[in-house]
Amino acid sequence: MDFVNILFNILTSGLPCCLLAIGVFLTFRILDFADMTAEGSFLLGAALTASLIYNHINPFLATFLGMIVGAGCGLVTGFLNRILKIPKLLSGIITLTASASIAMLIMGITTPGQIFYSQVPLSLSSHQTIYSVFYSSKISASLAPFPWNKLVESLVMIVIVGIMIVTVYYFFGTEFGMAIRATGMNEKMAKSQGINTNISSIACVAISNALIGLAGALYVQDALSVSTVSATGYLVIGLASILIGEAIFGKRSFKNWLLSVSGGALLYFVIITIAIKLGLPTELMSLLYAILITIALCIPLFKLGINKLKTKLERGKEHVRT
Amino acid sequence: MLELKNVTKTFNLTGNKEDLRVALDNVSLQIESGEFVTIIGGNGSGKSTTMNILTGVIKPDKGKVLLNDVDITEMDEHQRAGYFGHVFQDPMMGTSGDMSVLENLEIAYLRGRTHSPFKWGFKSSHKKEFIKELQRFDLGLEDRLNQKVGVMSGGQRQALTLLMATIRNKPTHKMIKRDYIKFSEKKPEVARKEFDDIYLPALEEYKRQLKNLKHLPKEIRKDKKAEFYEEFDKKVRQFDLTKQILLLDEHTAALDPKTAKKVLELTDKIVKENQMTTLMITHNMKDAITYGNRLIMFHMGHIIYDVKGEEKQKLTVEDLLKKFDEADKKAEQE
């Protein structure tokens, strides 16, 4: 049962991060926009969803609103960058900085008499999440110790992530989607081809952060608590997922690229889980993140080295023969 | 007709008053539709600035840009893109390297239109047309539709850019109406009424014809429908005013001589076939004389020489060099 538990843990923590990774991918790779907003929209998505669920609002509506608040963050960053002409990195940092306060303001609605609050604890007994809607205590009890609830949770996540991947894939094949891709790759060309690059950029950042906000919403309903401290470091996870996915699964076409990135997120959690199981102290986690990213970035170099070695060996063989 | 009226543009890159550089000094220029203008001039003489002001990449400090007597000075680059095709000197500039040939052409096909987030970006009917166009280029691009443009040579990319600048999807009826009202010499209300007087009855009739088709078998219906639509379409297309203007900014400068020649010949062929109004900047004086039917020479932000028709055909490279020398001497004396 230990293996099954580990598997479901990887799935339930990895699947929300698939959306996170795709969100970061859309700005980082498609739009060529190093978007720091990700961290903020993840936190806001999680905070808003948790606060709404805490106040017994329909969890599906709460999740949807979590996604919208993410899109809002993206709109602000896009506006700062494209209309107010603030550099990309800085406009992301501005939104990120603001989002911490706004998250506390949002979480303040959970405690009467308080305006600001820094965390929201949820409990399954009194609050309903989009996963717990589908829980069934009967089946769960009869199948114990099989983690039935975790299975349901994973399935709900898979459906949502699947829908989002398909939507993103089709969206970027539409006329507007192509305009966004052209903007990211060659803005001068995009403009001369009649694309309003301000609109396409802002839309892309908003869509990206909507996905990240949704990732936050899915995450918080699994973790059942959110605080301004716990929801940090997710930008790095997104970036690492992209790099690992690209290095291992490739980026031959847009479809392949999209799937690689989501696969990268899952793989990332496999590696982290193995590291924890091997007894790596959590204090060393950040170091592991850094090493992982470095390795992922160096994989093309390794591949090149291996190819060189191969040709050398082959030449050597020929030399022996002659 | 395309017109620059008293256009002045000064660049001040450092913010220092002494570093002001006048790129264009009170330049006026009229280009009739159908003209193929070659533009020559030294570095920094204002050739590229002129082109960038026409397409809206940069806005003039003073003066106006007129298209069919309509002021388009304040229109942004992407809003004007439907009327201009721009080919840059850098072959990497005009295409998107990470997208396939097909995707690049689709982007070009959407120029001047709204990019709908609900319409699928690829249409098989377009693909056939692209293949037909690419075959004329004879570069083997028609077999590489799904390849990324980034792996192609500079010559191939530039040829593709040229195609992207000249290819044009037929404007929709809505676009024709919009442009007719905007660019016809008549007053907007008159133009609108004139358009509607033809368009509405034609549409009515087309609908009526479709209704009559209902009882026919499916195969015949399809053919008839296409036939009727063509008839209806033809009536609307007579209002189509917008002809693309082709702007070539030293588009063969980065290519090897053989490819450059090929691309130039292609350009000439396309321009002649479509009777496109064209402006071509070149550093090659021989090309400037050989191609086109009008020649303009820029010098230090002024137009110093403008010659058309027969007089242009008699020109020699020596004549042009002499003109340059004269201009230089004159500038020194001043």
What is the number of other CB atoms lying within 10 angstroms of the CB of residue A280? 14
Closest chain B residue by Cα to residue A168? B117
Q: Is A83 on the interface with B (CB under 8 A)?
A: no
β B277-281/B245-249 pair status: parallel
Q: What is the pLDDT of residue A321?
A: 61
E strand segments, A61-219: 119-121
CA angle A160/A166/A172 to nearest 5° reads 130
In this structure, what are the phi and psi dihedrals at residue B90, rounded to the nearest 5 degrees?
-80, 120
Q: Is A254 on the interface with B (CB under 8 A)?
A: no
Residue A40 has pLDDT above 80, yes or no: yes
Give A289 to chain B, closest Cα distance, Å.
29
CB contacts, 8 Å: B120 with chain A: 170, 173-175
The answer to which of A107-121, A230-244, B36-50, B254-268 has the lowest mean pLDDT is: A107-121
Q: What is the pLDDT of residue A65?
A: 96
**Residues above pLDDT 90, as percent of chain A:** 51
Q: Is A188 on the interface with B (CB under 8 A)?
A: yes
Q: How high is the ipTM of this complex?
A: 0.85
Model confidence pLDDT, tens digit, residues B100-132 = 899 899 998 888 888 888 888 888 888 888 888
Domains of chain A: 2-321 (1.10.3470)
Distances B118 to A190, A191, A316, B112, B171 between C-alpha atoms, Å: 19, 21, 58, 17, 19
CB contacts, 8 Å: B113 with chain A: 175, 194
What mean pLDDT do residues B144-171 have? 86
Q: Are A191 and A197 in contact (CB under 8 A)?
A: yes
Model confidence pLDDT, tens digit, residues B248-277 = 988 888 888 888 888 888 889 888 888 889
Model confidence pLDDT, tens digit, residues B77-96 = 888 888 888 898 888 888 88
What's the pLDDT band for A68 if we cut at 50, 70, 90? very high
What mean pLDDT do residues B217-227 have? 79
Domain ranges of chain B: 2-170+242-333, 173-237
Give A181 to chain B, closest Cα distance, Å.
8
**Which pair of structure tokens corresponds to residue B32?**
């009739």
Model confidence pLDDT, tens digit, residues A224-268 = 888 888 777 888 889 989 988 988 888 888 889 999 999 999 999
Q: Are A15 and A157 in contact (CB under 8 A)?
A: yes
Q: What is the pLDDT of residue A1?
A: 61
The answer to which of A109-113, A214-218, A303-307, B109-113 has the lowest mean pLDDT is: A109-113
Question: Which residue type does B194 have?
Answer: E
DSSP symbol at B149: G
CB contacts, 8 Å: A176 with chain B: 115-117
What's the start-to-end Cα distance of chain A, in Å? 59
Residue A21 has pLDDT above 90, yes or no: yes
Q: What is the pLDDT of residue B210?
A: 81
Q: What is the pLDDT of residue A315?
A: 80
CA pair distance A192, B111, nearest whole angstrom? 8
DSSP symbol at B145: T
What's the pLDDT band for A320 if we cut at 50, 70, 90? low
B107 and A191 in contact by Cβ < 8 A?
no
Which CATH number describes the domain made up of B2-170+242-333?
A: 3.40.50.300
Q: Which of B99, B110, B120 sits opposite A181 (nearest CB)?
A: B99
In what helix (H) or strand (E) does residue A291 lie, and over which residues does it extend? helix A285-321
What's the pLDDT band for A281 if we cut at 50, 70, 90? confident
Q: What is the pLDDT of residue A44?
A: 94
